[in-house]
């Protein structure tokens, strides 16, 4: 009796790519161009939709070829009694609309496709790949080159821009969402970018507000753009925060931008304003000679490192006695901003470390600069918003609860029993 030959099974752990050679992409592309009458048909959503549909179909056919061990029509290479048994048509969702494909069948019913599984109804994700590359700072042209190299798909910069357009809807919803009623800490700072506008390249400022919630999580409250950083625009930002539900800020931490503390106190009269001590140190030592810098900084450390505000004031007087005659502007800047530089002395040590500097938002800005370094010039304000928002969305996924925040909140509820009632945390 003739022994039945066994079907050649697909090796365990193999994927469609193991049998799908890169030149098949090129074959699919060339076939499409021939049908459409030339390379001018390449580009745009309709092209990518058709090419993706044909590519998935080619993947499924290649998987069946590997499963059976021989190409369709090549009877001489057949080493199994199993054979093709038609196909089952189905429609799957994609980023570019529905795709019509046919899943090949075999007589034994042992074929399990991986490119598009039997019960799978979606192959969405191509646009997400574009957005992911965009988020990493690649330009639209670089993304197009990447897609062509890896997937064999040509996509114009204009098409890639359209693929990221849906992000703008998400940005608008995010920018207008309702905010918490109270933020214990608020950081505010600006990030400078270059934008092409009216055939010119303009320097603009992205305003960023970073809040710390009552649960100890950092939250970017919004982004705003203007041509210059100024206290007048920050007034608009603060007004918008109030319109979106913010009723109170306990402590606002900012750099030394003129007029900003007054703007905060106008919008939130009960808020304590803390000027960044690190910024103040940099500014006051900028014009200290090299030979005097070390002893000056040693005396200055006695000021901001003092245990109490009274001890800090005494250390400042001693600093002035030693250095004011030689560096009057450096000492004068501390005296002029003294009240807002020493706000942190009103709070326990655990909270002082959080509010004496704007390092939290500086760290965020540093990461945003790094991730957008490929973009020397943004083509528009919207392009800048898209990229910065996507980076913020990715970065905030990694942010965790601040260590020791429970102790900080216990201290704040004792300091502000009327502004942070205990039922807030229940």
Report the CATH number that the domain containing residue 411 is assigned in CATH. 3.30.420.10
- 47 pLDDT exceeds 80? no
Mean per-residue pLDDT, 304-321: 96
Mean per-residue pLDDT, 271-292: 94
- pLDDT class of 20 with cuts at 50, 70, 90: very low
- 246 pLDDT exceeds 60? yes
Residue 411 falls inside a structural domain: yes
- Among 18-27, 213-222, 259-268, 410-419, name the one with the lowest average pLDDT: 18-27
pLDDT at position 169? 77
Mean per-residue pLDDT, 254-278: 93
pLDDT at position 129? 60
pLDDT at position 123? 62
Q: Which of 72-76, 196-200, 208-212 has the highest mean pLDDT?
A: 208-212
- Distance from C-alpha of 95 to C-alpha of 51, rounded to nearest angstrom: 13
Residue 171 falls inside a structural domain: no
Mean per-residue pLDDT, 330-348: 95
Joined together, the tokens standing for residue 170 give 């998400």
Q: How many CB atoms lie within 10 A of CB 173?
A: 9
CB 254 within 8 A of CB 261: yes
Are residues 339 and 382 located together in one domain of the fold?
Answer: no
> Model confidence over 56-109: pLDDT tens digits?
787 788 778 888 888 887 777 777 888 889 999 988 877 667 888 889 999 999
Among candidates 82, 83, 92, 93, which has minimal Cα distance to 118? 92
Mean per-residue pLDDT, 197-216: 92
Question: What's this model's pTM, rounded to 2 decimal places?
Answer: 0.68
Residue where a domain stops, chosen among 139, 163, 187? 163
Residue where a domain stops, chosen among 333, 357, 381? 357
- How many domains does the structure of the chain reveal? 3
- Distance from C-alpha of 233 to C-alpha of 315, rounded to nearest angstrom: 36
Residue 2 falls inside a structural domain: no
Among candidates 175, 174, 146, which has minimal Cα distance to 160? 146
Mean per-residue pLDDT, 142-155: 59
Residues 6+ apart with CB under 8 A from 133: 142, 143, 146
Residue 186 falls inside a structural domain: yes
- pLDDT class of 412 with cuts at 50, 70, 90: very high
Task: Please give the residue range of the domain that contains residue 298.
Answer: 277-357
- pLDDT class of 2 with cuts at 50, 70, 90: very low
pLDDT at position 227? 84
Q: How many CB atoms lie within 10 A of CB 58?
A: 18
The H or E element that residue 60 is part of is helix 44-68
Higher pLDDT, 40 or 63: 63
Are residues 269 and 296 located together in one domain of the fold?
Answer: no
pLDDT at position 28? 58
- Among 169-173, 284-288, 326-330, 351-355, name the one with the lowest average pLDDT: 169-173
Are residues 294 and 373 located together in one domain of the fold?
Answer: no
- 194 pLDDT exceeds 80? yes
Residues 6+ apart with CB under 8 A from 131: 163, 164, 167, 390
Q: Which residue has the tokens 């429609």?
A: 91
Angle in degrees, CA 195, 198, 203, rounded to 5: 30
Residue where a domain stops, chosen among 357, 380, 395? 357
Higher pLDDT, 282 or 9: 282
pLDDT at position 13? 38
Q: CA dist 343 to 252, 280, 337, 339, 346, Å?
A: 10, 14, 11, 7, 6
Residue 10 falls inside a structural domain: no
Are residues 315 and 266 located together in one domain of the fold?
Answer: no
Are residues 271 and 315 located together in one domain of the fold?
Answer: no
Among candidates 275, 220, 250, which has minimal Cα distance to 388? 220
Share of the chain above pLDDT 70, in %: 75
- Distance from C-alpha of 372 to C-alpha of 137, rounded to nearest angstrom: 5
Higher pLDDT, 122 or 80: 80
């Amino acid at each position: 009796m003739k022994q039945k030959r066994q079907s050649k099974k697909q090796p365990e752990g193999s994927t469609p790519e193991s049998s799908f050679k890169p030149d098949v992409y090129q074959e699919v592309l060339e076939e499409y161009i021939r049908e459409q009458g030339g390379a001018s048909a390449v580009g745009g959503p309709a092209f990518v939709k058709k090419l993706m549909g044909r590519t998935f179909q080619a993947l499924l056919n290649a998987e069946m070829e590997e499963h059976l061990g021989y190409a369709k029509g090549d009877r001489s290479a057949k080493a199994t009694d199993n054979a093709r048994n038609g196909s089952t048509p189905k429609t799957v969702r994609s980023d570019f609309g529905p795709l019509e494909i046919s899943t090949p069948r075999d007589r034994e019913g042992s074929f399990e496709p991986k490119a598009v599984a039997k019960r799978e109804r979606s192959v969405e994700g191509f646009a997400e790949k574009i957005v992911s590359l965009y988020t990493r700072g690649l330009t639209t042209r670089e993304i197009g080159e990447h897609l062509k190299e890896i997937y064999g798909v040509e996509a114009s910069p204009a098409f890639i821009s359209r693929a990221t357009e849906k992000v703008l809807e998400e940005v608008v919803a995010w920018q207008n969402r309702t905010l918490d009623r109270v933020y214990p800490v608020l950081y505010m700072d600006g990030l400078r970018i270059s934008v092409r506008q009216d055939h010119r390249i303009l320097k603009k400022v992205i305003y960023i507000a970073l809040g710390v919630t009552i649960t100890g999580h950092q939250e970017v409250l919004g982004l705003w753009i203007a041509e210059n950083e100024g206290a007048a625009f920050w007034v608009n930002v603060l007004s918008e925060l109030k319109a979106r539900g913010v009723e109170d800020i306990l402590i606002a931490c900012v750099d030394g931008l003129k007029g900003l503390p007054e703007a905060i106190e106008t919008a939130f009269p009960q808020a304590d304003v803390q000027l960044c001590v690190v910024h103040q140190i940099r500014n006051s030592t900028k014009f200290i000679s090299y030979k005097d810098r070390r002893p000056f900084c040693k005396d200055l450390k006695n000021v901001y490192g003092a245990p109490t505000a009274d001890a800090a004031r005494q250390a400042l007087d001693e600093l002035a006695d030693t250095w004011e005659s030689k560096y009057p502007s450096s000492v004068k800047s501390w005296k002029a901003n003294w009240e807002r530089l020493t706000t942190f002395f009103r709070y326990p040590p655990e909270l002082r470390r959080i509010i004496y500097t704007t390092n939290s938002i500086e760290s965020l800005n540093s990461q945003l600069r790094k991730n957008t370094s490929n973009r020397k010039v943004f083509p528009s304000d919207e392009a800048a918003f898209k990229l910065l928002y996507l980076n913020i969305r990715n970065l905030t996924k990694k942010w965790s609860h601040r260590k020791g925040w429970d102790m900080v909140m216990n201290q704040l509820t004792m300091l502000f029993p009327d502004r942070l009632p205990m039922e807030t945390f229940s």
